[in-house]
Amino acid sequence: MFPWIYQALQKGGYLKPFQSLENHLLVTLDGTQYYRSSTLHCKKCSIRTHKTGAVTYSHSAILPVIVAPGQSHVISLAPEFMTPQDGHEKQDCEMAAAKRWVTSHACDFMEQKVTLLGDDLYSHQPMCEHALDTDMNFIFTCLPDSHPALYDWLTYLNGIGDVHTLEVRQRNKRVQEIYRYRFVNEIPLRDTQPSLDVNWCELTISRESDAKVLYHNAFVTRHLLNAQTVASVVEAGRARWKTENENHNILKTKGYHLEHSFGHGQDHLASFLLTLNLLAFLFHTVLALVDQSYQRIRRQRGTRKGFFKISWL
């Protein structure tokens, strides 16, 4: 169902406003927990034993969405559930689930360029190589604590003047801000060999009046960085936050009750019910993009919760 809806939106031209970076779609990968209990569980639960001896059972999933800077909607794609895998003694994890999703769904984007977005957990060589092996690019957050070798290289390159800098003044309402970009191409991602060469960029936003830092983050990518492209790449990387605000938060607090247990069962019921919830959210998004009647009702009712309270009988 998810690939079918994606293809319908693609053929109808509704995904063109979501394209950036020379017609790439931005797909953000992020895991979230949707069930947690100390008693009720099934064989598909993840299990955590605490130091006190208490046991917690949970369900989590990767919930990929298409995002774009300036777009208030996100488009849900098929989830990938973190469940015990046949032949594996270790618990399933977000990284393994993300790789499975990329492998399973790369064929859905055969005629569409894709850039994956993810937090610092993703910006390590196995995941970066996995993305490239499936003809996908990436923009992943890259923090100093988890990439000491890369940042040692940056210190050296900065000392010899090989880290480029671009400053742009922008007005945010009444406040004048300075956007300071730093970037360098072809830098080793890790100290062990062979190491994948990546392109690194950083954005610091400060208030011009008092130099107070308002935002700071850094990313690694395989998109070429220069004075003409770095701002667009960083803007795309920053769109990752939409998976929290426009996806997880709406699903959990705006009427979809993602974390509510509608039923657990002994095998696949919990994941099946979550999938139905995601499909409902996706259909509402599609209606918001293509259906004038739905758009009119939403304007009249305001919030999603207001829409859900309409009596259709």
Q: How far from the centroid of its chain's Cα atoms is residue 254's Cα?
A: 20
**Domain residue ranges in the chain:** 2-141+224-308
By residue count, the chain amounts to: 313
- Alpha carbons within 13 angstroms on the beta-carbon side of residue 128 total 23
The helix (run of H) or strand (run of E) holding residue 185 is strand 175-188
pLDDT score of 311: 53
- Alpha carbons within 13 angstroms on the beta-carbon side of residue 56 total 10
pLDDT score of 196: 98
Residue with structure tokens 């208490």? Answer: 54
Q: Where are the alpha helices (DSSP H) in the chain?
A: 2-11, 94-105, 125-133, 148-159, 230-238, 242, 249-253, 269-290, 292-301, 304-308
DSSP 72: S
pLDDT score of 39: 86
- For the beta carbon of residue 250, count every other beta carbon within 10 angstroms: 18
pLDDT score of 305: 74
pLDDT score of 34: 86
pLDDT score of 78: 96
pLDDT score of 217: 98
21-66 per-position pLDDT tens digit = 999 999 999 999 888 888 888 888 888 888 888 899 888 999 999 9
pLDDT score of 9: 95
Cis peptide before 144 (omega within 30 of 0): no
The residues, ordered by sequence, that sit 6+ positions from 183 with a Cβ below 8 Å of its Cβ are 163, 164, 166, 199, 200, 201, 202, 225, 226, 230
- Burial (Cβ within 10 Å: 0-12, 13-18, ≥19) of residue 189: buried
The residues, ordered by sequence, that sit 6+ positions from 212 with a Cβ below 8 Å of its Cβ are 206
pLDDT score of 313: 44
> Which one, of 32, 124, 46, lies nearest residue 80 by Cα?
32
Residue with structure tokens 């699903």? Answer: 251
pTM attached to this predicted model: 0.92
Counting as low any pLDDT under 50, the low residues of the chain are 313
- For the beta carbon of residue 175, count every other beta carbon within 10 angstroms: 11
> Which one, of 94, 117, 95, lies nearest residue 26 by Cα?
117
* End-to-end CA separation in angstroms for the chain: 27
211-246 per-position pLDDT tens digit = 999 999 999 999 999 999 999 999 999 999 988 888
